[in-house]
C-alpha cells in the first residue's frame, strides 16, 4: 500500500464503514481489519481480515502484509460479547502484550493498542485527521433553533462538564434549566438518556417531565484518536423520549453519525441539534491528542 493508504482497525458501531466510505470516495487505498465480537456484521462482511480481540500477532501479521501508511482505530471495544471474551482469553500466545494491556484496565484498552501499533512503526491517526467532515460543525442542524432558555441550559451543561472533567468523567450531561437530570458515567449516552427518561416518568407534576438539553463533549485529556464522542439518529430519538428540547455538542470534537438521518430525526421529533464553539469548554482541545 502507499503512504496515503489506511488500515482501519474496526470495532463496534457504524463508524468503521462510514469512515471507509469517506476514505474510498476521497480515493485513498484502504484495508479493514475487523475485530471479532465487536465489529458489526456489515463491517465484517466488507473486512479484508477478521481477528480476535487481543490476537495481536495476527493483527500485526495483517498490517505487516498490507504495509499501510496510516493505521486508525474506529468504533469502540468497551462492550465485549461473551464470544469475544472467550476468544480473547483462549489466546495465550501473547502473554506479555496482553499482560501490558490488562495492566491498563479495559477502559484504556484502545490506548494500549495504539501504543503497541506505534511501537511496531505504524503512525496512528484519528477520524479527525482522516475524515473531519464526519465531525460536528459549528451550526444548527435541522429546523429548530435553540432559544435563550436553551442557550442558558447549554451554558449550565458546559459548566457541569467542565467541573467533572478533572475527574475523567462526564462526556455528557442532561440538564433542564439549572437542574442536572443525569451525568454520564462509563455507561454511555444512551443509558444516561434512559435514566433521565425514567427519572422524569416518576415525576409527580407534568411540567417537571419535559424540557432540557443533552450537552456532549470529550473529557479533558481524552485521546481523540481512539475515543470521540458521537451522536446519531438514536441519540436524537432517546433525547426526544427523555422529553428534551435538543442536543448541543462540541463542534469539531464530536462525531455526527449518519448526518442526514440525524437531522431528519431532529426535525421529526422537533428537537434542535447544535454544534457549539469548543472553546466554550475549558481546554478540551489543548491537552487532547490527535
User: Would you count residue 109 as binding its own copies (CB under 8 A)?
Assistant: yes
3-state secondary structure of 47: coil
User: How many whole angstroms separate alpha carbon 260 and alpha carbon 18?
Assistant: 13
> Taking contact as CB under 8 A, which single stretch among the options 102-110, 113-121, 229-237, 240-248 is the one that binds its own copies?
102-110
- Nearest-approach distance from CB 202 to its own copies, in angstroms: 6
Looking at the Cβ atoms of 243 and 275, the one nearer to its own copies is 243
Q: How far is the CB of 187 from its own copies (least distance, A)?
A: 6
Rounded least distance, CB 180 to its own copies, Å: 4
Question: Rule CB under 8 A: is residue 187 a binding residue for its own copies?
Answer: yes
Residue whose C-alpha is closest to residue 223's, from 124, 99, 120, 80? 124
| Cα 237 to Cα 160: distance, rounded to the nearest angstrom | 23
Span of 59-67, 122-130, 199-207, 223-231 interacting with its own copies by CB under 8 A? 199-207
Check residue 87 and give left, alpha or beta (phi > 0: left; psi -120 to 50: alpha).
Answer: alpha
Least distance CB 33 / its own copies (angstroms): 20
User: Which of 15, 136, 183, 242 is in the footprint of its own copies by CB under 8 A?
Assistant: 183
If the CB atoms of residues 24 and 198 are measured against its own copies, the closer one turns out to be 198
Helices marked H in the chain — which ranges? 15-25, 41-46, 56-66, 82-90, 95-104, 109-119, 127-130, 148-164, 189-201, 233-241, 259-269
Q: Does 149 bind its own copies (CB under 8 A)?
A: no
> Interaction with its own copies in 55-94: which residues (CB under 8 A)?
78-80, 85, 88
The conformational region for residue 66 under phi > 0 = left, psi -120 to 50 = alpha, else beta, is alpha
**CB 29, min distance to its own copies, A:** 33
> Rule CB under 8 A: is residue 49 a binding residue for its own copies?
no
Closest CA to 237 of 210, 195, 265, 212: 265
Quick one: CA dihedral 258, 260, 262, 265, positive or negative? Answer: negative
Residue from the set 92, 148, 204, 286 that interacts with its own copies by CB under 8 A: 204
Q: Is 159 in the site for its own copies (CB under 8 A)?
A: yes
Of 270, 284, 179, 290, which Cα lies nearest the Cα of 225?
Answer: 290
- Considering only 61-69, 140-148, 178-186, 255-263, which stretch makes contact with its own copies by CB under 8 A? 178-186
Task: In whole angstroms, give the CA distance from residue 242 to residue 175.
Answer: 11
Q: Measured between alpha carbons, how far is 54 from 97 in angstroms, rounded to an integer?
A: 9
* Rounded CA separation 79/253 (Å): 22
Question: Looking at 51, 164, 240, 265, which residue binds its own copies (CB under 8 A)?
Answer: 164
Query: Where on the chain is the footprint of its own copies (CB under 8 A)?
Result: 78-80, 85, 88, 102, 105-107, 109, 156, 159-160, 163-164, 166-169, 178-183, 185-187, 195, 198-199, 202-205, 207-208
Amino acid at each position: 500500500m502507499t503512504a496515503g493508504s489506511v488500515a482501519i482497525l474496526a470495532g463496534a458501531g457504524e463508524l468503521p464503514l462510514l469512515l471507509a466510505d469517506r476514505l474510498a470516495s476521497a480515493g485513498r487505498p484502504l484495508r479493514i481489519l475487523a475485530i471479532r465480537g465487536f465489529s458489526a456484521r456489515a463491517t465484517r462482511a466488507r473486512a479484508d481480515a477478521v481477528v480476535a480481540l487481543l490476537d495481536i500477532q495476527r493483527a500485526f501479521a495483517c498490517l505487516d502484509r498490507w504495509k499501510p501508511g496510516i493505521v486508525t482505530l474506529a468504533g469502540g471495544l468497551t462492550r465485549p460479547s461473551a464470544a469475544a471474551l472467550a476468544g480473547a482469553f483462549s489466546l495465550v500466545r501473547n502473554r506479555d502484550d496482553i499482560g501490558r494491556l490488562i495492566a491498563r484496565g479495559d477502559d484504556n484498552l484502545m490506548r494500549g493498542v495504539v501504543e503497541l501499533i506505534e511501537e511496531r512503526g505504524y503512525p496512528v491517526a484519528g477520524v479527525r485527521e482522516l475524515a473531519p467532515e464526519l465531525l460536528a460543525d459549528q451550526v444548527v442542524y435541522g429546523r429548530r433553533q435553540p432559544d435563550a432558555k436553551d442557550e442558558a441550559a447549554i451554558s449550565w451543561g458546559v459548566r457541569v462538564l467542565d467541573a467533572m472533567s478533572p475527574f475523567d468523567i462526564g462526556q455528557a450531561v442532561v440538564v433542564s434549566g439549572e437542574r442536572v437530570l443525569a451525568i454520564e458515567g462509563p455507561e454511555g449516552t444512551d443509558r444516561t438518556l434512559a435514566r433521565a427518561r425514567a427519572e422524569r416518568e416518576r415525576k409527580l407534576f407534568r411540567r417537571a417531565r419535559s424540557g432540557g438539553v443533552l450537552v456532549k463533549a470529550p473529557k479533558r485529556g481524552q485521546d481523540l484518536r481512539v475515543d470521540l464522542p458521537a451522536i446519531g439518529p438514536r441519540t436524537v430519538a432517546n433525547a426526544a423520549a427523555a422529553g428534551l428540547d435538543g442536543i448541543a455538542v462540541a463542534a469539531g470534537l464530536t462525531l455526527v453519525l449518519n448526518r442526514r438521518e440525524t437531522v431528519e430525526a431532529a426535525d421529526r421529533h422537533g428537537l434542535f441539534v447544535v454544534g457549539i464553539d469548543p472553546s466554550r469548554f475549558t481546554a478540551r482541545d489543548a491537552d487532547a491528542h490527535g
